[in-house]
A and B are shown apart, each in its own frame.
Chain A
Amino acid sequence: MTMKASSRQANGVTIVSLCGRITLGEGSVILRDTVKSLSAQGHKKILLDLGDVTYIDSSGIGELVSAFTSVRNSGGELKLLKLTKQVHDLLQVTKLHTIFDIQEDEAAAIAAFAR
C-alpha cells in the first residue's frame, strides 16, 4: 500500500496524517518531501499522526529521525501522535522513544506545543 500524507492546521499546529507504509523507497520519500515542504513554508510546529501507519522499517525510522532533527534545526518542533504497536515497538527497541515527544491524544498534543 502506497503511503499518503495530508496536512491541516489546528491552533497554529500543522497536523500531518500519514497513512500506509513508511519503508525504503516511496513511503520514506513522501515523508521527507512533506516535512521539507512544510519547513520551507515556515511551519514550525509539526505533529505527525502515525495512527494509520501500517508498517515501518529502519529506513522509515531513519526518516522520522531526520524529520525531527531538520525541524528542530530550523527552530521548530516535531511531535508524534498515535503510534501503532509496530511503530511503538521499533521506537522502543531503538531507544528513540526517549527522543521523541509521543502523544496519544490530539488535543493534548496541540496543547503540548504551547508549553
Chain B
Amino acid sequence: MNVSKVSYTLESTLESVNRAEQTAAEIAARSGFDKDECGRISLAVREATVNAVLHGNQCDPTKGVTISFENTLDALTILVHDEGSGLDPALVPDPLAPINLLKQSGRGVFIIRAFMDEFRFRTMSPGTEVTMIKFVRGPGSRRQQGGFTSDDESKLTAGERRHHR
C-alpha cells in the first residue's frame, strides 16, 4: 500500500496552532476530503494542538509539539505529541451535561471526538500523544492520494524540524 507521511516539530506558541490548522486543512484537501470534512479535520488538529501547547507544554518555549500526518488510501491519520504532563481526556467533564453546558471551556476534546472517526490518547515518556483518524467514506473509498508537497513546508518554516518518509 502506498503510504506517505510527514511530521513537523513546532514551538509551543499560538502561532504554531494556526499553522498546524492551516497545514491540516491543506493536507486534508489534497487527500480527497470535501470542504466540510477538511474544516472538521483542521479544527480537530487545532484543538489537539491547543491542548498540547497550553495544557501539555504550558507554553514552555523549550518544549516542542510534533505533528505527524500519515496518508493512506483509506484514511488520514494525525498524531500530536507534546512534551508535557498532558491532559487526560478521561478527566475532562462531559460538556453536554446540564451542569457544564454553560461553562466557558472544556469542549476541545469533545469536538475532536465528534469530528474524527477515531481518537486515542497515550501517555508517553515524556509527554502525551493524541492520535486522530479520519477514514475515507463512500463506495470504493479509494481516493487519489495527494501526498505531501513542498507547500506544506512553506507553512512551517525556520526553526522547525521536518521529516519525510
Q: Are A96 and B101 in contact (CB under 8 A)?
A: yes
Verify if B132 is at the interface (C-beta below 8 Å from A): no
A95 to B100, alpha carbons, bound, how many Å? 11
Taking residues whose C-beta sits less than 8 angstroms from the other chain, chain A's interface range is: 20 to 34
CB atoms of B105 and A85 under 8 A apart: no
Q: Which of B22-53 contact A (CB under 8 A)?
A: 36, 39, 43, 46-47, 50
- Does B124 belong to the interface (CB within 8 Å)? no
Give, as a whole number of angstroms, the nearest-CB distance from A79 to chain B.
16
B30, chain A: closest CB distance, angstroms: 20
Q: Which of B67-75, B81-89, B107-115 contacts A (4 or more CB under 8 A)?
A: B107-115
Given A57-B46, A85-B36, check contact A65 B114 (CB 8 Å).
no
Determine the chain B residues whose CB is within 8 A of the CB of A23 once the complex forms. 18, 46
Cβ contacts B85-111/A at 8 Å (1 or 0 each): 000000000011000011111011011
B interface, over-half SS: helix
Q: Enumerate 15 A-B pairs (CB-CB under 8 Å) in ascending A order.
A: A24-B50, A25-B14, A58-B105, A59-B105, A62-B107, A65-B103, A65-B104, A66-B104, A68-B102, A89-B36, A90-B111, A93-B115, A95-B96, A95-B101, A96-B101
Interface centre among A24, A25, A69, A95 (most CB of B within 10 A): A24
